[in-house]
Amino acid sequence: MVVSTRIFIVDDSRTVRLRVRQILEGAKQADYEVMEAADGADALKLLEKTNPEDLPYLILLDRNMPNVSGDACICILKSDPVWKTIPVIFLTAQADKSEMVKGLSRLGSNDYLPKPFDSGELLARVKTQTGIKKS
């Protein structure tokens, strides 16, 4: 039996959230349970209401969002003693190398995938980060 792996997609684009959900839910040999939020503020509210044992294994986080940006959101996540253990992959249009370096080193993301992204690469990165989290 395959155990469900909870993935949290945080992106202000409904189209991106739908596409990522389709990729994850269509993945062979993986059972992903997908949660969604339209911005960092909604994501943080949802996480606050979530029992620690039900927190996601991974957050896919856009950087450019209204209300609370991905940059602000990850700073809050990484400063919380419980949430900081959740791996974060930035899934963003900010593809510039300096922005990638900022996302990985200064903001503390676990990985960085520029949009537009390849579905195979997304699944590989998700599998890697959830595998690390589970072990």
C-alpha pair distances (Å), 34 with each of 4, 26, 67, 101? 10, 12, 22, 28
Q: How confident is the model at residue 127 (pLDDT cuts 50, 70, 90)?
A: very high
Q: How confident is the model at residue 1 (pLDDT cuts 50, 70, 90)?
A: very low
Question: Is 2 a residue whose pLDDT tops 60?
Answer: no
d(CA 83, CA 126): 18
Report the number of secondary-structure helices (H) and strands (E) in the chain. 5, 5
Q: What is the pLDDT of residues 66-108, one digit of tens each?
A: 999 999 999 999 999 999 999 999 999 988 999 999 999 999 9
Q: Where are the domains of the chain?
A: 5-134
Q: What is the pLDDT of residues 7-59, one digit of tens each?
A: 999 999 999 999 999 999 999 888 999 999 999 999 999 999 999 999 999 99
d(CA 2, CA 95): 34
117 three-class SS: coil
Q: What does pTM read for this prediction?
A: 0.95
Which one of 3.40.50.2300, 3.40.109.10, 3.10.20.90, 3.40.309.10 gives the CATH number of domain 5-134?
3.40.50.2300
The token pair that represents 21 in the structure block = 């959900």
Q: What is the pLDDT of residue 72?
A: 98
